Amino acid sequence: MQIKFKALDYTSDDSFVEADYEYTGSLESGWEILRNEKPYLKVGPGYKLLKTKSCGVCSTDIDRRFLPHPLPQIIGHEVLAESVGEVPTKQYVIEINDTYEARGDLKKDAFCEEGIPTHSPERKVLGIDRLPGGFGPYILVPQNAAIETAGTSEKVAVLMEPFAAALQAIIASPPRDGDYVAVLGPRRLGSLILSALKAYRNSSQTNFRIAAIIRHDHLISLAQKMGADEIVDLREVSAESLKQKFDIVYDTTSTTSGFASALDFAKREVHLKTTNGQVMGGLSHLTELVVDELSLLPATLENLKFHWNKEDRRNKSIFIFPSVYAKWKDKIPNDIEIFTGSSDEAISILNSEKFAGKVPRFDLVLVGSSAEVGVAIRPKPGEETSLVRPRSAILIDSDSENEWSPESKSIRTFFHSGKMIRSSRCGDFHYALKLLKENPEVSKSLEENMVSHTFPFAKLTDAYAKAKDPSSVKVVVNFE
């Protein structure tokens, strides 16, 4: 099969340029992609050709130039598409990670074997990393990443990727009976988290209250419609009165001031859903923390057992930074192997035969300072590799005052009081669809309130500009 089309490539100077694309191949044989008659990308078997119906503009799209992936590229990953050549025509939403499992490849790597395929270093990402995205009229997607949406309205279906990502925050940081939780910054992503919280509460029959913390008039009505039980207006209440008021704060502000407020407002946990790439609270590489879905926990014997709720695994290795090695080496249970040394030595250990055939990461890392947190997340400049396995934890010993910089005082106090920071990224579309079918009132609210602006494909640059406007909520580009 051969498809030719024109699309707008996003470039590193935050603008778009028209390009000619050509896809040649098949699901069975693989595909060759040409851009302006030059080779762009080759992919093997397992990719389905789909026609784009609509695509939402995400905050990631707006900040795409800051990500460490090649440009120019057709961006866009919140996609609703339809089949090409199938009778009857089917509609699909697309999980964005291109992995061995998504392609249906019999070959698997250690990340697939460990149940974290979306964190495999070999993956590509639709509209983000190499694989052309949904702001083009046609897309190639891994066959198992295309999920049918029968019974779901198109207005809800185009929101499936961000809703599933919002729901992932609830899966990683689920409220308990009697909790009082808050969403800080409920606009685009925050509104979806409010909806996910409401759907989760209904389906799990967990009893907790949901607050939306806002400071803009136009968000009050939206937050109420999307699931907030209460509105906390920061223009009317003092930040001081909110200290340690909420069991969990889901921070969607992507600002340093928002993160600082979340630390103050949380009684037990902050869930960090989005960041701005800056050092916050004396902690660096928090964007990468979210990408790897890592957690920052107080260093305790109990937290040596940490794993995600839906995982069934046991921690077998820990890397302890030299600053706290002497204090902790005799406290670690015998069934957890201890490693220590410099960050370079840690990388050498992970590249050694000891980790051959395994996920080349330590199950846990234990640090004694804010600076060491950043090193644990990204030990080598320019390389997107952590010392700790995705969805695991960095344990923080906050007792050593001389290891903490003045700007990290608040974060040290946070961990010293036994609190934690969790993070999450992409979500499970099947679970998201199930939850929305169980909660039609939530689905209806998404359909009626989330999409604030729509544009035809010919007006993509206008749609992109509108998405940057704080008055917008969700902007969607339609191809029909």
Q: Note the pLDDT tens digit of each residue in 45-76.
A: 999 999 999 999 998 899 888 888 899 999 99
pLDDT, tens only, 243-272: 999 999 999 988 889 999 999 999 999 999
- State the residue range of the domain holding 260: 160-273
* Pair (385, 468) in one structural domain: no
pLDDT more than 90, % of the chain: 82
Mean pLDDT score, 286-301: 94
Q: Would 369 be classed as within a structural domain?
A: yes
What is the C-alpha separation between 101 and 118, in angstroms, rounded?
Answer: 9
What is the C-alpha separation between 315 and 186, in angstroms, rounded?
Answer: 36
Q: Would 262 be classed as within a structural domain?
A: yes
The residue length of the chain stands at 480
* Pair (473, 383) in one structural domain: no
Among candidate residues 221, 239, 273, the one where a domain is terminated:
273
Q: What is the pLDDT of residue 471?
A: 83
* Pair (298, 251) in one structural domain: no
Tokens of 76: 């866009």
Contact 346, 339 (CB under 8 A): yes
What is the C-alpha separation between 270 and 421, in angstroms, rounded?
Answer: 5
How many Cβ atoms from other residues are within 10 Å of residue 95's Cβ? 26
188-204 vs 217-226: helix crossing angle, rounded to 10: 30
Query: In this model, does residue 375 exceed pLDDT 80?
Result: yes
* Pair (256, 350) in one structural domain: no
Query: In this model, does residue 133 exceed pLDDT 90?
Result: yes
Across the strands, what pairs with 38?
Answer: 35
Q: What angle do CA 352, 353, 354 make, to 5 degrees?
A: 90
List, as one string, the DSSP characters of 336-359.
Answer: SEEEES-HHHHHHHHTSGGGTTS-
Here the CATH number for the domain that contains residue 263 is 3.40.50.720
Q: Would 286 be classed as within a structural domain?
A: no
Among candidate residues 371, 404, 420, the one where a domain is terminated:
420
Query: In this model, does residue 158 exceed pLDDT 90?
Result: yes
Mean pLDDT score, 232-240: 94
Among 17-31, 84-98, 112-126, 396-410, top mean pLDDT goes to 17-31
pLDDT, tens only, 214-226: 988 888 999 999 9
Q: Would 445 be classed as within a structural domain?
A: no
Here the CATH number for the domain that contains residue 28 is 3.90.180.10
Residue type, 425: R
Q: What is the pLDDT of residue 68?
A: 83
Q: Would 208 be classed as within a structural domain?
A: yes
Q: Would 435 be classed as within a structural domain?
A: no
Query: In this model, does residue 396 exceed pLDDT 90?
Result: yes
Tokens of 22: 């050509």
* Pair (146, 14) in one structural domain: yes
Mean pLDDT of the chain: 93
Q: Assess whether the previous peptide bond of 72 is cis (omega < 30° from 0).
A: yes
Q: How confident is the model at residue 382 (pLDDT cuts 50, 70, 90)?
A: confident
Contact 22, 3 (CB under 8 A): yes
* Pair (147, 164) in one structural domain: no
Q: What is the 3-state secondary structure (H, E, C) of 392-442?
A: EEEEECCCCHHHCCHHHHHHHHHHHCCCEEEECCCCCHHHHHHHHHHCHHH
> 294 or 310: which carries more pLDDT confidence?
294
Contact 149, 91 (CB under 8 A): yes
* Pair (381, 234) in one structural domain: no
Q: What is the pLDDT of residue 395?
A: 98
Question: In the sheet where 2-10 sits, what is the strand order?
Answer: 2-10, 16-26, 30-35, 38-43
**Residues with Cβ within 8 Å of residue 18, at least 6 apart in sequence:** 6, 7, 8, 9
Q: What is the pLDDT of residue 216?
A: 86
* Pair (154, 164) in one structural domain: no
Domain count, the chain: 3
Q: What is the pLDDT of residue 460?
A: 96
* Pair (14, 37) in one structural domain: yes
* Pair (336, 352) in one structural domain: yes
Contact 46, 142 (CB under 8 A): yes
* Pair (37, 112) in one structural domain: yes
* Pair (144, 181) in one structural domain: no
What is the C-alpha separation between 119 and 115, in angstroms, rounded?
Answer: 9
What is the C-alpha separation between 367 and 84, in angstroms, rounded?
Answer: 52
Query: In this model, does residue 191 exceed pLDDT 90?
Result: yes
Q: What is the pLDDT of residue 377?
A: 96
Q: What is the pLDDT of residue 219?
A: 86
